[in-house]
Amino acid sequence: MSLEIKIPAVGESITEVTIAQWFKKDGDFVEMDEVICELESDKATFELNAEAAGKLTIKAEEGDTLEIGDVVCLIDTDASGSSDSLKEEKKEAAPAEDKGSSEPKSTGEVKEMTVPTVGESITEVTISSWLKADGDYVELDEVIAEVDSDKATFELPAEANGILRIIAEEDSTLEIGALICKIEVTEGGAPSSSSENEATGSTSTSSSAPSGDETYATGHASPAAAKIIAERGLDASQIKGTGKDGRITKEDAENTKAPSKEAPKKETKSEAPASAPTFVAAGARDERREKMSSLRKTVSRRLVSVKNETAMLTTFNEVNMKPIMELRSKYKEKFKDKYEVGLGFMSFFTKAVTMALKDWPAVNAQIDGNEIVYHDYTDVSIAVSAPKGLMVPVIRNAESMSFDQIEKEIIRLATKARDGKLSIEEMTGGTFTITNGGIFGSMLSTPIINAPQSAILGMHNIVERPMAVNGEVKILPIMYVALSYDHRIIDGRESVSFLVRVKELLEDPTRLLLGI
């Protein structure tokens, strides 16, 4: 019987793929679940597995573009081939295995690992990096891959002991519940290096590698990296692998420059006169490319979405920071001695915002379909610049917190953000956002709303400026503040009044203590 192997659905927005490479030839015998070719879409690269054992008949050549559902090859399941010889080899090898061998034995079970649910609002993830290679032996709960979502990075632990079979390559974007890899379950402990090479069909020179920290993976390229090396004409022996056990990853290959080729000099009939020399400006003109992280790609997509889908406006005001600065200067040492935390500007702004939001609840609301959701609590999101990109952890029920509690929570969340250890719960559910561009020297900006919220307050640097006070010119420390808001839910009167209320509370800090 001939089994038709068709192009599978690999994503909602993907309608066609290209045959990048065949790993098997026409007429070869293939085993069930064996990788037979590599498919490329406009978003990622996928591997196509044989759905049964049998003789392969190729229907689409390398470079052909096929639509989802098109037949790519046939497998004659009635044909006999290498599987028979494999059975004979196993029979011959059986006596040797019975002689006190401690090598792991296959149970015949295959554990399918799918993308786990990592948060209510997360529908898809990206494979950031594989920490184990295809064919490696993995142990239960051993971390085998890192997975990126639009909010955080997670570790993927193995769900059984056995041989790893990778289904989704690095940079692949998968939906929750999608198949990510398989584990051929074994029992009896980890295999020796020699049997592991045999299990993966390795014919590399790793067996002659010097003893020490090197393994069979040292200096070997992953499938994606091998393709880049071949396309660019790179020398794999000159590339230092940064993957697990020195394996060459896709990023290693991408970051390696191709060998320079000297262009032949062309003879010209006439040359420029000696009196007209050609001047070349000194200085390097190097370029480098870096892959966008999943977090940055998602943030970019959402920022554009907010600009396109909201009626965003920005209103401005200025705040005399002298009263707060004098108050901090007077009590900051006593405050730190008592609460073991510094007294910063963010606690004043957070308290002022929570009080102003009570007076103007629309600024603390959000649109949900055809309804407006008003919040009786204030969860303030604080924008933090982290190594992987902008993160916005949330201070829960900020309206009921004291100055020292706010300062401690800001430090805790900012530290976790910079260490990449924020959880999904700590980054979801905010009702209003504060961003402080002043720490980088920004004088004025129009911050973008953090959807699905309806408003964001932008802080800026403090600069001494001449101000007219009661008919006199005085030099005062002034900060410009900006409120970006969604005009669909917040009217001009509400936005301006909210910002004026924040200004009043900051310029007279005793109002914050008295609640007036």
- Which one-letter DSSP state was computed for residue 235? -
Q: 248 and 220 in contact (C-beta within 8 Å)?
A: yes
> b vs e for 420-457, b when ≥16 Cβ sit within 10 Å of the residue's Cβ?
eebebebbbebbbbbbbbbeeebeebebbbbeebbbbb
Query: CA–CA separation, 256 vs 287, rounded Å?
Result: 12
Q: How far is residue 187's CA from residue 107's CA, in Å, rounded to a whole number?
A: 7
Helix (H) or strand (E) holding 267: none
Angle in degrees, 0-180, between the axes of helices 403-418 and 345-359, rounded to the nearest 10 = 110
Measure the CA–CA gap between 70 and 72, rounded to whole angstroms: 6
Integer angstrom CA distances of residue 121 from 125, 187, 278, 429: 12, 38, 60, 10
Instruction: Evaluate whether 47 touches 5 at the Cβ level (below 8 Å).
Output: no
Helix/strand/coil for 284: coil
Return the structure tokens found at 229.
Answer: 């090396």
Q: Is 141 tagged catalytic?
A: no
The active-site residue, picked from 78, 460, 491, 508, is: 491
Q: What percentage of the chain's residues is helix, strand, coil (to nearest 5)?
A: 30, 30, 40
C-alpha pair distances (Å), 342 with each of 57, 398, 415, 461: 72, 18, 15, 19
CA distance 480 to 180: 49
Sorted by sequence, the CB contacts under 8 Å of residue 300 that are 6+ apart come out as 292
Q: Is 49 left (phi over 0), alpha (psi -120 to 50) or beta?
A: beta
Active site residue 220: no
Where in 383-516 does DSSP place strands (E)?
384-386, 389-391, 394-395, 432-436, 455-459, 462-469, 472-486
Which of 26, 359, 419, 487 is the catalytic position?
Answer: 487
Helix axes 345-359, 322-339, angle to 10 degrees: 110
Show which residues are catalytic.
487, 491
